[in-house]
């Protein structure tokens, strides 16, 4: 009963370092999403993948890249981390158009020093 699994749960980076946040879902969902959550701002969409093999920019894509490796996995990469990318990152998935419910992972707390 895993649902959406994100790794790591916590990460500290120095400015300029790179890292990849991993996300996997075991619900056979088509669509997957990456959000960031900053204090007082709710969640903002970084990138999404409507189906395997496709990715599109969301509201705040600058400084990030994504890969939809297969139907299960959707990774988020920070090529050169900046302090402005300190945030909590959430991965989410949805099975099909018309089903409104998003399933979220437990989040990754990232600090960039």
Q: Which residues bind other proteins (CB under 8 A)?
A: 31, 33, 40-45, 48, 50, 56, 58-59, 88, 90, 92, 94, 97, 100-107
Pick the closer one to other proteins by CB: 72 or 103.
103
For residue 102, give every residue at least 6 positions away whose Cβ sits within 8 Å of its Cβ, in sequence order, or none: 33, 92, 93, 94
Q: How far is the CB of 65 from other proteins (least distance, A)?
A: 17
The token pair that represents 90 in the structure block: 């959430």
* Cβ distance to other proteins smaller for residue 19 or 45: 45
Q: Which CB sits closer to other proteins, 19 or 43? A: 43
Instruction: For the CB of residue 58, give the shortest distance to other proteins in the complex, in Å.
Output: 6
Q: Beta partners for 103?
A: 93
CB-CB contact of 88 with 36 (8 Å): yes
Question: At CA 55, angle to CA 45 and CA 80, rounded to 5?
Answer: 65
């Amino acid at each position: 009963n895993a649902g959406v699994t994100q790794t790591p749960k916590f990460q500290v980076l120095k400015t300029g370092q790179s890292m990849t946040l991993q996300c996997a879902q075991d619900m056979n969902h088509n669509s997957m999403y990456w959000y960031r959550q900053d204090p007082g701002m709710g969640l903002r969409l970084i990138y999404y993948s409507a189906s395997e093999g496709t990715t599109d920019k969301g509201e705040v894509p600058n400084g990030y890249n994504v890969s939809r490796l297969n139907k299960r996995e959707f990774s988020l990469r920070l090529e050169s981390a900046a302090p402005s990318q300190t945030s909590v990152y959430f991965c989410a998935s949805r099975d099909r158009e018309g089903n409104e419910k998003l399933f979220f992972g437990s989040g990754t707390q990232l600090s960039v020093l």
